[in-house]
Structure 1
Amino acid sequence: MMVKFYYPDGDWCYRAIQTVHAVFHDKDGKLIARAEKGDLSGYYEFEITEFELIGPGERHR
C-alpha cells in the first residue's frame, strides 16, 4: 500500500504506508503529514493539501 501526498505547490510524492506516522490538522487548520526520515533517525512534518491511499494493483494516470 502506498500513500500519495499532494503538496500546496501542486507537486506530489509517494510514500510507503509503513513510513507514514500521521496525518492531522495543525492549530492553524493546515493539513500536515508526519513521515519517517530516510535515515530512520526520526520523523519530519510537511504541509499537504490532500492524500490518497493506493492499493496493490491500482493504476493511476
Structure 2
Amino acid sequence: MIKFNYPDGSHCYRALHTAHAVFRNDDGKLIARAEKADRTGMYEFEITGFELLSTGIVYD
C-alpha cells in the first residue's frame, strides 16, 4: 500500500500497483499519477508526500 498525503492535511491509501508516478511539475509541486478506480485511464493530483506501507504493520 501507498499512503498519499494531501496539501489540506488529509490522506488516502492506494494499492501500490495503481500508483504510476510521483514527480515535481513545472511549478515545483509534488504530483502523483494513479490509475482511476474504473481503470479507464490515469489522473494526477497534488501531494505533500507519500509513504510505502509494509504488510503486517498497523499504521495510525
- TM-score, normalised to structure 1, is 0.95
- Structure 1, gaps ≥5 residues long: none
Bigger share in strand: 1
Moved over 3 A (4+): none
SS in 2 for 1:55: coil
- TM-score, normalised to structure 2, is 0.96
Give the superposed CA RMSD.
0.5
- Structure 2, gaps ≥5 residues long: none
- 1:1-61 map, 5 Å: 2-61=1-60
